[in-house]
Amino acid sequence: MQPAAVSSRHNRASSQTIQALHIPEALLKIQTVTAVTGMSESTIRRRVAEGKFPSPVKDGTRCTRWVAGQVSNWLRAKGAV
Protein backbone atom coordinates (compact mmCIF):
# COMPACT_ATOMS: atom_id res chain seq x y z
CA MET A 1 0.00 0.00 0.00
CA GLN A 2 2.83 2.42 0.72
CA PRO A 3 4.24 2.51 -2.84
CA ALA A 4 0.92 3.90 -4.10
CA ALA A 5 1.02 6.65 -1.48
CA VAL A 6 4.57 7.53 -2.44
CA SER A 7 3.64 7.49 -6.11
CA SER A 8 0.65 9.74 -5.43
CA ARG A 9 2.79 12.26 -3.56
CA HIS A 10 5.36 12.19 -6.34
CA ASN A 11 2.72 12.96 -8.98
CA ARG A 12 1.42 15.95 -7.04
CA ALA A 13 4.92 17.27 -6.43
CA SER A 14 5.90 16.96 -10.08
CA SER A 15 2.79 18.65 -11.53
CA GLN A 16 3.02 22.20 -12.78
CA THR A 17 0.10 24.57 -13.08
CA ILE A 18 -0.64 26.58 -16.19
CA GLN A 19 -0.28 29.68 -13.99
CA ALA A 20 3.49 29.26 -14.43
CA LEU A 21 2.97 30.67 -17.92
CA HIS A 22 2.44 34.10 -16.31
CA ILE A 23 5.99 34.12 -14.91
CA PRO A 24 8.20 35.00 -17.92
CA GLU A 25 11.31 33.36 -16.45
CA ALA A 26 9.53 30.15 -15.40
CA LEU A 27 10.75 26.93 -16.96
CA LEU A 28 7.83 24.91 -18.27
CA LYS A 29 7.62 21.14 -18.49
CA ILE A 30 6.52 19.56 -21.75
CA GLN A 31 3.19 18.60 -20.15
CA THR A 32 2.49 22.27 -19.42
CA VAL A 33 3.52 23.33 -22.92
CA THR A 34 1.22 20.74 -24.49
CA ALA A 35 -1.63 21.89 -22.24
CA VAL A 36 -1.33 25.58 -23.14
CA THR A 37 -0.67 25.11 -26.86
CA GLY A 38 -3.03 22.22 -27.54
CA MET A 39 -0.27 20.53 -29.54
CA SER A 40 1.12 17.06 -28.91
CA GLU A 41 4.67 16.56 -27.68
CA SER A 42 5.74 15.20 -31.07
CA THR A 43 4.27 18.22 -32.88
CA ILE A 44 6.05 20.60 -30.51
CA ARG A 45 9.38 18.83 -31.02
CA ARG A 46 8.88 18.77 -34.81
CA ARG A 47 8.12 22.50 -34.87
CA VAL A 48 11.19 23.21 -32.72
CA ALA A 49 13.30 21.31 -35.28
CA GLU A 50 11.67 23.34 -38.09
CA GLY A 51 12.33 26.61 -36.25
CA LYS A 52 8.59 27.26 -35.87
CA PHE A 53 8.42 26.99 -32.07
CA PRO A 54 10.73 28.27 -29.31
CA SER A 55 13.65 25.98 -28.56
CA PRO A 56 13.82 24.42 -25.11
CA VAL A 57 16.67 24.86 -22.68
CA LYS A 58 18.54 21.89 -21.25
CA ASP A 59 18.91 21.85 -17.49
CA GLY A 60 20.92 18.66 -17.17
CA THR A 61 21.07 15.50 -19.24
CA ARG A 62 17.43 14.51 -18.69
CA CYS A 63 15.77 17.86 -18.04
CA THR A 64 14.31 19.88 -20.92
CA ARG A 65 12.21 22.97 -20.24
CA TRP A 66 10.69 25.83 -22.23
CA VAL A 67 10.96 29.45 -21.08
CA ALA A 68 7.43 30.64 -20.28
CA GLY A 69 7.95 34.10 -21.79
CA GLN A 70 9.00 32.61 -25.12
CA VAL A 71 5.98 30.29 -25.20
CA SER A 72 3.69 33.21 -24.28
CA ASN A 73 5.16 35.36 -27.05
CA TRP A 74 4.66 32.50 -29.54
CA LEU A 75 1.02 32.16 -28.47
CA ARG A 76 0.48 35.94 -28.82
CA ALA A 77 2.02 35.91 -32.29
CA LYS A 78 -0.39 33.12 -33.24
CA GLY A 79 -3.30 35.14 -31.85
CA ALA A 80 -4.03 32.53 -29.20
CA VAL A 81 -3.70 34.82 -26.16
What are the sequence ranges of the domains in the chain? 17-77
> How far is Cα 55 from Cα 76, in angstroms, rounded to an integer?
17
Rounded mean pLDDT, 72-76: 96
Task: Give how far Cα 37 sits from Cα of 8, 52, 61, Å.
Answer: 26, 13, 25
Q: What is the pLDDT of residues 22-42, one digit of tens each?
A: 999 999 999 999 999 999 999
41-70 mean pLDDT: 97
Judged against a pLDDT cut of 80, whether residue 12 lies above it is answered with no
pLDDT value for 15:
83
Confidence at 18, pLDDT banded by 50, 70, 90: confident
pLDDT at 53: 98
SS3 65: strand
